[in-house]
Amino acid sequence: MLFLLSLLVLSPSAKAQDDSASSAAPAAGPVEEEEVLPLTKMPELVDLVQAPYPEEAKQAEIEGSVLLLIEIGVDGKVSYVEVLEEPGYGLGEAAVQAIQASTFSPAEDANGPTVVALEFNYGFVLDAAAIDDAVPEEPIEPEVLPVTFEGQVLELATRAELDEMTVIVLGTDFSATTDNEGRFEIRGLPPGSYQVAVVRPGWAEKELELTIEEGLVSSAEIWVRNESYGQNTVVGVYRKDKDEITTRTISMSEAKKIPGTFGDPIRVIQNLPGAGRAPFSSGLLIIRGANPEDSGVYIDGIRIPYVYHLGGFVSVINPEMIQSVDYLPGSYGVQYGRSTGGAVDVTTKKESPEQDRIVWSTDLLDSGGLYEGRLGKDDQHHVAVAARRSYVDVVLRPFQKNRPFSANPVWYDYQLRYSYHGFEKTQVSFFLFGFDDKLLVTTDDGVSQSSDQDAQGDLSTHQFTHRLQGKIEHEISDTLSVRVMPSFGVDYQYLGLGQSFQLDQTLWLSEIRAELPWKPNDHVEVIPGLDLIGGWWNFQTELPFNPDSFVEYDPLAEREAFKIEDEGTGWGPDLYLKANLRPFKDLDRLYVQPGIRFSVYSISDQFTATAWDPRLSFKGRVAKNTYIKGATGLYTQPPQFFESYAPGTNDYNPDFEKAWASSLGLEQQIKPGLNLETEGFYKELSDLIVNNRDFQEIGDIPYTNEGAGEIYGFEVMLRQDPINNVFGWVSYTWSQSWRQDYEDSDRYLYDFDQTHIMTALAGVKLPYQFEVSGRVQYVTGTPYTPYSGAFYDADLDSWTPYSTGKRNTDRLGAYTAVDLRAERAFTFKHWRMLAYVDFLNVYRGDNPEFRLYNYDYTDYVDVRGLPFLPSPGVELEFYL
């Protein structure tokens, strides 16, 4: 007898949609009206063709299941089949032929039928009839027989009730599939002793002994362990239903496995095409050759000033609070503004898991905990709270003995989330978070740090951010909805050296995002939006010298302490309008997104600047599994805060920096789960803010919009989605980033230019809950300007280098490194533990991070990056 075990694990794309569909929370971040399109209808088996039992298997009495990877098209036909696992004896071939002849009803999302890939288990079980003529018997009518064996299948640790699990009484025809509560029952099983197996691909097979006694019902609670990737996470780097044509969405399960990222999903973007290597693990976001400050980082659509704690090792938000990380290297829609570089949008979870849980993680750098769960019994109140603090200062202490300085970095962060799920058409959530970073470098008073009295003393930095965000979504009608996302918070930065050098800046910010999506049909969606930011700023600066003296530097001039304190307000009420157009009946055939954004940037008593950003992007299917995509548009960015302030003059009117960005690319699904993407891009930069060469003293205009530049390149990525216990990708980026500060000056390779960036990484699950992963990186070295010589200044007793050549004509050596990671999970009934070690720089090249010269610039050494560094950690997860 043949029987279909089950339709098992959805493919990456379908899985993502399924997860979203199961969520009562909004499926998207505040700036993505359709970040994840939930499947409104799962594919259903309409006609399963029974495979003839292969003679070879029949004679050898071979039973088993064939794990297939199949793709179901919008017409419900099976368009692709691949055998992932099979017992041999012709069973695989028979299953392929049978499934190719079978038909399904297509999966559907909000736009109608859609393509999905899924794993499908086709089972073969021998019985007399099968051996005789390969024709299945009529199934036993179970309802007429008494229940003899019943039970429930639960997941180890999470205690989740598992559906779609197949319970087989081995050596018999008896089997059952668990329902939504994980329950099953088998009727009519005669008395005796049996072996029972619980199977489902992606789960560790569970076997147990069973004894059936006459007149009694045996019951069992069966615990099984999940072994698949991507459980309860967004899966898939490329999602065809994204609004953005180039969005790389990262599987959280992959993200935490990649060596060198310290389990931080936000650091994973540095392994994707277009993302440069952060020098010295600094965490700087270098996206397509742009200045790091030109790229925006958002948490649920609200921009934050920085994304990594001191040292760039970990991001400022607990990874367990993150639902997904969207990486947009360029050509993104008008909902993102005020930046000419890329964008990273972190979407936090809005829903707690069914089982309350506590997660505790500890590694070399910090420790932190998280609790998330549901309040009350009606499942309407979901909460999560997390906090983390570093102790790297303690770890570093032994290494700082007998040194003239002692560095003490400390950071912490916290998050509190609440979401209400009691309204039918309204979603409400609040998110309070903050992060704080301090660094104190202390020195002995009697030890001179330099010949400059004003450079004497302790170095201290402090920066923090606190935000309270809200999100309200309401469905007004079937075609109209509204999203409002207010936020309020403070950013603070301090830098101090000794007693005479202090920079102190406070920024109180209010932001409101609001969108009113109107979708009259599947082909048209229009989204007007407001992106308003306003705030009050205050800063104090104390310097041991007057900045005017820097224009004509005179070391013998008497220094005059300089102090300035000011406050003011600023705001930017940006408006945008975009449309999502799918003109064909086959919605996937062409997607066009025109949009325009109007930006305002106003600093009280200083200036007001405005900009219009028109943008257009498209994505179309040109052949089966082949898409082309392109975009062009203007991206503008207001001056940075320090570029916005010009004391002593009312004639300062800086304009927005501008980048006209265009891209053209191709996406090809080689087979389900294996994708190739290429994209070329060109960005013309203009009105870049540079120092005013005529600046003489305070009161003069400090900056001008004279700078220009261009960035061009291409990206390639070949990616294996996490299927069959393996994931990985190879990405390569070639690019050039040029700048020209003034019309009459030479253009030069930009400081953050990295011509070649190659990353290859892979991870594989091994038996016994072991998992290993590795990463290889190659990145072109950082450009620098070589010195031609140096002259001795007897007044200062120091050498001043000079260069007679052009800027950035040389490069430091390339960066090459191999990182490995090994982990072992331990799963118990109510909790699990993950122990891991990141082995950083198992192999490393010279990896010069910067060049350190001797006192007279006649010699130098290249300061290398991190040495081999094993970084162990442990994560405990308790389900309450």
Partner 1 sequence: MITLTLLLMGCEINQLARPTLVDRARILGVASEPAEPAPGDQVTLTSLAVDPEEGIGAVTWFGCVLEESSGFGCSLDSEKLEELFAMDLESMTPEEQADWFEQVQAAGFIGVEPDLPPSFTVPVDLLDGLSEEEAIEGKNYLFTLSALPGEGNLDALDLEAEGDSQAETGLKRMPVSLNPSPNQNPVIASVELDGTFAVQDQDTLRVQAGQTYTFVMTLTEESVESYTFVNSEGIVEDRTEQPYVSFYATGGNFFQEVSLYPYLEAQWTAPVDPETSEHNLWLVLRDRRGGMAWVSLNLIVE
Binding site for partner 1 (CB under 8 A): 280-283, 310-313, 392, 396, 399-400, 403-405, 407-409, 439, 441, 446-448, 450-451, 453, 456, 461, 546, 554-556, 558, 560, 789, 791-795, 797, 802, 852-856, 859-864, 866
Query: What gap in Å lies between CA 365 and CA 382, rounded to an integer?
Result: 30
Residue 371 corresponds to which amino acid?
Y
- Cβ-proximal residues to 131 (8 Å cutoff; 6+ apart), any chain: 53, 58
Give how far the C-alpha of residue 653 lies from the chain's centroid of Cα atoms, to the nearest Å: 37
Distance CA 248, CA 239 (A): 8
| Residue 385 and residue 415 in contact, taking contact as beta carbons nearer than 8 Å | yes
Nearer to partner 1, 282 or 505 (CB): 282
Shorter beta-carbon distance to partner 1: residue 211 or 451: 451
**Choice between 636 and 847, CB closer to partner 1:** 847
* Residue whose CB is less far from partner 1, 453 or 479: 453
Q: In this complex, which beta carbon is closest to partner 1, that of residue 756 or of residue 851?
A: 851
Q: How far apart are CA 418 and CA 272, in angstroms?
A: 32
- Minimum separation from the CB atom of position 281 to partner 1 (A): 6
**3-state SS record for 367-389:** EEEEEEEEECCCCCEEEEEEEEE
Beta carbon nearer to partner 1, 558 or 605: 558
Residue 592 · residue 576 · CB < 8 Å: no
**Cβ closest to partner 1, residue 545 vs residue 598:** 545
If we measure between CA atoms, which residue out of 311, 316, 384 comes closest to residue 346? Answer: 316
Q: Which two tokens stand for residue 652?
A: 């300062």
Q: At its nearest, how many Å lie between partner 1 and the CB of residue 799?
A: 9
Which ranges of 139-203 would DSSP assign to H, the alpha helix?
A: none
Task: Find residue 120's DSSP bridge partners.
Answer: 7, 68
> Which lies closer to partner 1 via its Cβ, residue 651 or residue 859?
859
Q: Which residue has the tokens 């009934």?
A: 829
Nearer to partner 1, 628 or 866 (CB): 866
Output the smallest distance, CB 863 to partner 1, in A.
Answer: 5
- Kindly tell me which of 75 and 793 has the beta carbon lying closer to partner 1: 793
CB 437 within 8 A of CB 414: no
Is the sign of the CA dihedral 303, 307, 309, 310 positive or negative?
negative
SS3 642: helix
Q: Which structure tokens are listed for 64?
A: 């088993």
What minimum distance in Å lies between the beta carbon of 464 and partner 1?
Answer: 17
By beta-carbon proximity to partner 1, the closer residue of 411 and 537 is: 411
**Residue number, 500 or 686, with CB nearest to partner 1:** 500
Using alpha carbons, select from 568, 648, 641 the residue that is nearest to residue 605: 568
Q: 3-class DSSP state for residue 204?
A: coil
For the bound state, the minimum distance from the C-beta of residue 463 to partner 1, rounded and expressed in Å, comes to 12
Helix, strand or coil for residue 287? strand
State the pairing for strand pair 296-299/343-348. parallel
> Residue 294 Cβ, how far from partner 1 at the closest point, in Å?
21
Instruction: Compare residues 675 and 841 and give the one whose CB is closer to partner 1.
Output: 841
Among 329, 323, 321, CA closest to 248:
329
Q: Which of 74, 440 has the CB closer to partner 1?
A: 440
3-state DSSP call for residue 143? helix
| Token couple for 810 | 């040389």
Bridge-partner residues for 315, per DSSP? 308
Judged by beta carbon, residue 405 or residue 826, the one nearer partner 1 is 405
Burial class (CB within 10 angstroms; exposed 0-12, middle 13-18, buried 19+) of 403:
exposed
Distance in angstroms (rounded) separating the CA atoms of residues 275 and 286: 6
Does residue 708 sit in helix, strand or coil? strand
Taking the C-alpha atoms of residue 806 and residue 108, their distance in angstroms, rounded to an integer, is 59
Q: Of the two residues 562 and 778, which places its CB atom closer to partner 1 in the complex?
A: 562
Alpha-carbon torsion angle 720, 724, 726, 730, nearest 10: -10
The phi-psi region of residue 30 (left if phi > 0; otherwise alpha if psi is between -120 and 50; otherwise beta) is alpha
Helix H or strand E encompassing 252: helix 252-255
Residue 173 DSSP symbol: S
Per-residue tokens: 751: 């400081």
Query: What six digits make up the tokens of 724?
Result: 């069959």
The full length of the chain comes to: 880
> How far is 443 from 400, CA to CA, in rounded Å?
12
* Residue 610: CB minimum distance to partner 1, A: 37
In whole angstroms, how large is the CA radius of gyration of the chain? 31
Judged by CB, which is closer to partner 1: 407, or 577? 407
| C-alpha–C-alpha distance, residues 849 and 861, integer Å | 11
In what order do the strands lie in the sheet containing 183-187? 183-187, 147-155, 218-224
> Which residue number, 183 or 864, has a Cβ lying nearer to partner 1?
864
The two tokens of residue 540 are 């104090």
User: Does residue 314 contact residue 264 with C-beta atoms inside 8 Å?
Assistant: yes
Q: Which of 466, 446, 465, 464 is CA-nearest to residue 456?
A: 446
